[in-house]
Amino acid sequence: MPPLPKPTTSTVQAIYRVYEEAAESWDSLGISVGEANGACDRAIWYSFRWATPLESYNGKQLRLFDTGNREEDRLVDDLRRIGVEVYGQQDRIRLVGGHVRGKCDGKGFGVPEAPKTEHLFEFKSSNAKNMRQIAKLGCEKAKPLHYGQCQLGMHAFGLSRCLYLVACKDTDDLYGERIEYDLEFCLRLLARLERIVSEQSPPSRISDKPDWFECKLCKHYAACHEDQMPRVTCRSCLHSTPIMDGNAGWDCSRWNKPVSFDEQKAACPAHLFIPALVPGEQIDVDEENETITYRLRAGGLWVDGATTA
Ligand code: SF4
Ligand code: SF4
């Protein structure tokens, strides 16, 4: 019999607990630039529509995120020590009506390879295995999400170069790559994101096979392949529409008014699910009573709106 793992000490448990108690779960206002170049349209749409439960993290994972944030500060210090001017940390990225959003890690001049060219900075930390892949294949192939983030950042700030700097958490090795702005890539990605934002129903899956490798790792798996009901928020309601006001706004056609972020999270008693999110077949609509009847795949009839109207 293999030896039992040693129990986590009370001290370590207490430290992790502090991270967990301080953690906040939040819905993102829009599509993060760091997820914008994801492989699956439907996964991006589910996140944008808050269709699935918020993720929660344990203390160890939260501490690891904190390590990544600290590494960013350290990389800024490292760059300054070699004479690079760094500014603009936390400058906002707003694209596609404000629905695609993020912050940059910094911008600056004085990068040794091209000191007179203003660069965007994108900092990451990685384990040794991923670091080897990045060094072997480069950012675009090894880390498409990072690559999309770099490209959209350059697009948003009108820059032509990005310095992508990765620190290895296991060995402290650094990897640096200068990425050139690719207008065609950005226009294609922005057109795709605009389509996803405007879709009123879930876009096609990347694969209909539940054992597809990307699906097995996807946080939306239960909603996508296992008939999990979506969350009740304005974003899963058929009356809601994202608007291209530049400020990530949403409108409600039921009440004929804009809905604030807090209102979206709370929803209202007139909420009706977007039919394609319900795991069943729509068989009746009662406009007067504002209900929709479904035959659920799990069996039985279900009337949306009947309990809340
Ligand atoms: S489970 Fe697969 S198809 Fe569904 S959203 Fe995730 S990646 Fe896309
Ligand atoms: S009907 Fe209610 S839940 Fe639906 S979009 Fe309007 S305010 Fe939100």
Q: Residue whose CA is closest, atom 5 of ligand 1?
A: 43
| Backbone torsions φ then ψ of 124, nearest 5 degrees | -140, 160
Considering Cα of 298, then 302, then 305, then 309, what sign does the dihedral take?
negative
294 inside domain: no
Residue with tokens 């490209």: 151
DSSP category for residue 254: T
274 inside domain: no
Q: How far apart are CA 160 and CA 101, in angstroms?
A: 20
Q: How far apart are CA 297 and CA 277, in angstroms?
A: 12
- Out of 47, 205, 228, mutate this one to test ligand 1's pocket (max ligand atoms within 8 Å of CB): namely 205
pLDDT at residue 168 above 80? yes
Burial class of residue 81 in the structure, from the number of CB atoms within 10 Å of its CB (0-12 exposed, 13-18 middle, 19+ buried): exposed
For the segment 60-93, what is each residue's pLDDT rounded down to a tens digit?
988 988 888 899 999 999 999 999 999 999 899 9
Residues with a CB atom less than 6 Å from ligand 1: 40, 42-43, 46, 205-207, 214-215, 218, 220-221, 224-225
pLDDT at residue 123 above 90? yes
Q: How many domains does one find in the chain?
A: 1
pLDDT at residue 25 above 70? no
Per-residue pLDDT, 308: 47
E strand spans, 186-296 = 240-242, 250-252, 257-259, 280-286, 291-296
Q: How confident is the model at residue 184 (pLDDT cuts 50, 70, 90)?
A: very high
Question: Which domain, by its residues, includes 117?
Answer: 27-194
More confident residue, 307 or 170: 170
pLDDT at residue 307 above 70? no
17 inside domain: no
**What is the CA(293)–ligand 2 centre distance, in A?**
18
User: Average model confidence (pLDDT) for the chain?
Assistant: 94
pLDDT at residue 268 above 70? yes
- Out of 232, 235, 254, mutate this one to test ligand 2's pocket (max ligand atoms within 8 Å of CB): namely 254
56 inside domain: yes
DSSP letter string, 69-122? HHHHHHHHHHHHHTT-EEE-TT-EEEETTTTEEEE-S-EEE--TTSTTS-EEEE
Does the Cβ of 271 fall within 6 Å of ligand 2? yes
**What is the CA(126)–ligand 1 centre distance, in A?**
24
149 inside domain: yes
Which ligand does the CA of 51 lie closest to?
Answer: 1
pTM of the predicted model over 0.85: yes
When pLDDT is averaged across residues 250-272 and rounded to a whole number, the result is: 97
pLDDT at residue 275 above 60? yes
Which amino acid is it at 279? P
57 inside domain: yes
Atom of ligand 2 nearest to the CA of 232: 3
CATH number at residue 185: 3.90.320.10
Atom of ligand 2 nearest to the CA of 259: 7
169 inside domain: yes
Percent of the chain predicted with pLDDT > 90: 83
**What is the CA(284)–ligand 2 centre distance, in A?**
20
74 inside domain: yes
